[in-house]
């Protein structure tokens, strides 16, 4: 039954124009103030209360959205809404900073870690790494780790992989930081022409950390300016936009999970290389990663 549900999800992603996935900011609030994050620096409309949020998620499910990606802020500041999402959707993924723990619900947790202890704490605040990893060790099911590569952590990836290889996780996936066209300030994104060096290094490290490495050559090619990047790096061509609707915490739609100003020409979203490697190139490892990640 589970296998059938997963196969149906992949089929609709690949062969129908149906929007089967909702990306929902389930809360505006976060307990951290990460240096690389725009979230806590911007004003937002008030979030839906619990009753309205449950009704909203139910309406999305009734419209055929069987998969949901739950974001914040920090979703676990609303544990009841995480639990509701896990009941309403067939394939819930919940992104978390890990500091609030992992509850025993029917969802796949995606834990954001930016580096090994020193680098992670320099970005997310003192004690953030220990809190997240302490909770990770007690998690009722193995999380997937997600790391966004920026100028702040690009030289810490091997140390991170070494740390993660001793932890109970399913694997680790990588995004590149996606800058905004409307926000100004320090640019921590990796220039497109430098991505190849980092990807080559990760593929080299894959030989040692193959058990957890969520990157294949086909996926790396999607990020690369000299390969397939230009096939999807616009709002018109973005495969995520084709299968997924994104919503603010008040239920209003937004064009991209990174916000209205996301610069598609420098997109670093990990899900697109994974999707394209699996669906367009039938990369068996990418298919296996999706199989393990979705409920």
93, 251, 27, 174: CA torsion to nearest 10: 40
Tell me if 235 contacts ligand SF4 by CB under 6 A.
Answer: yes
Tell me if 233 contacts ligand SF4 by CB under 6 A.
Answer: yes
Mark residues 78-97: x for contact with ligand SF4 by CB under 6 A, - for none: -------------------x
Tell me if 129 contacts ligand SF4 by CB under 6 A.
Answer: no
C-alpha span between 77 and 134 (Å, rounded): 18
DSSP secondary structure of 130-143 = HHHHHHHHH-SSPP
Nearest distance from C-beta of residue 124 to ligand SF4, angstroms: 6
Only segment of 25-33, 49-57, 82-90, 221-229 that touches ligand SF4 (CB under 6 A): 25-33
Instruction: Return the SS3 of 176.
Output: strand
Return the number of the residue (40 or 288) whose C-beta is nearest ligand SF4: 40
250: Cα separation from own chain's centroid: 21
Tell me if 238 contacts ligand SF4 by CB under 6 A.
Answer: yes
Closest CA to 106 of 115, 94, 117: 94
Six token digits for residue 174: 């990588």
Mark residues 37-56: x for contact with ligand SF4 by CB under 6 A, - for none: x-xx----------------
Residues 6+ apart with CB under 8 A from 259: 38, 180
Return the number of the residue (11 or 40) whose C-beta is nearest ligand SF4: 40
Backbone angles phi, psi at 78, to 5 degrees: -125, 70
Return the number of the residue (122 or 165) whose C-beta is nearest ligand SF4: 122
Residues 243 to 262 in contact with ligand SF4, rule: CB under 6 A: 256, 258, 262
Tell me if 74 contacts ligand SF4 by CB under 6 A.
Answer: yes
C-alpha span between 71 and 23 (Å, rounded): 7
Tell me if 230 contacts ligand SF4 by CB under 6 A.
Answer: no
Tell me if 188 contacts ligand SF4 by CB under 6 A.
Answer: no
Nearest distance from C-beta of residue 235 to ligand SF4, angstroms: 5
Residues 6+ apart with CB under 8 A from 99: 31, 32, 74, 128, 131, 132, 135
Tell me if 229 contacts ligand SF4 by CB under 6 A.
Answer: no
Six token digits for residue 236: 């018109």
Q: How many chain residues bind ligand SF4 (CB under 6 A)? A: 24
Yes or no: say if 242 and 17 are a contact pair by the CB < 8 Å rule: yes
Positions in the binding site for ligand SF4 (CB under 6 A): 30, 32-34, 37, 39-40, 72-74, 97, 124, 178, 233, 235, 238, 240-241, 256, 258, 262, 264, 267, 269
């Amino acid at each position: 039954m589970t296998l059938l549900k997963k196969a149906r999800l992949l089929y609709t992603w690949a062969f129908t124009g149906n929007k089967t996935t909702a990306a929902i900011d389930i809360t505006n609030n976060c307990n951290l103030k990460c240096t690389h994050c725009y979230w806590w620096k911007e004003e937002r409309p008030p979030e839906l209360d619990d009753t309205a949020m449950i009704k909203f998620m139910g309406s999305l499910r009734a419209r055929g959205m069987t998969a949901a990606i739950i974001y914040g802020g920090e979703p676990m500041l609303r544990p009841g809404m995480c639990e509701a999402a896990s009941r309403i959707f067939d394939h819930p993924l919940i992104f978390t900073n890990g500091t609030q723990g992992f509850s025993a619900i029917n969802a796949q947790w995606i834990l954001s870690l930016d580096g090994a202890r020193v680098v992670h704490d320099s970005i997310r605040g003192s004690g953030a790494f220990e809190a997240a990893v302490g909770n990770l060790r007690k998690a009722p099911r193995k999380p997937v780790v997600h790391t966004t590569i920026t100028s702040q952590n690009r030289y810490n990836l091997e140390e991170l992989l070494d740390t993660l290889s001793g932890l109970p996780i399913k694997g680790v996936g990588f995004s590149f930081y996606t800058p905004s066209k409307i926000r100004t300030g320090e640019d921590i994104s990796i220039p497109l022409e430098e991505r190849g060096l980092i990807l080559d290094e990760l593929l080299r490290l894959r030989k040692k950390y193959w058990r957890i490495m969520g990157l294949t050559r086909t996926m790396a090619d999607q990020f690369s300016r000299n390969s397939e990047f230009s096939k999807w790096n616009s709002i018109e061509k973005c495969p995520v936009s084709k299968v997924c609707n994104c919503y603010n915490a008040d239920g209003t739609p937004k064009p991209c999970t990174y916000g209205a100003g996301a610069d598609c020409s420098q997109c670093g979203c990990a899900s697109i290389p994974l999707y394209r490697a699996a669906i367009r190139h039938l990369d068996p490892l990418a298919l296996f990663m999706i199989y393990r990640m979705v409920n």
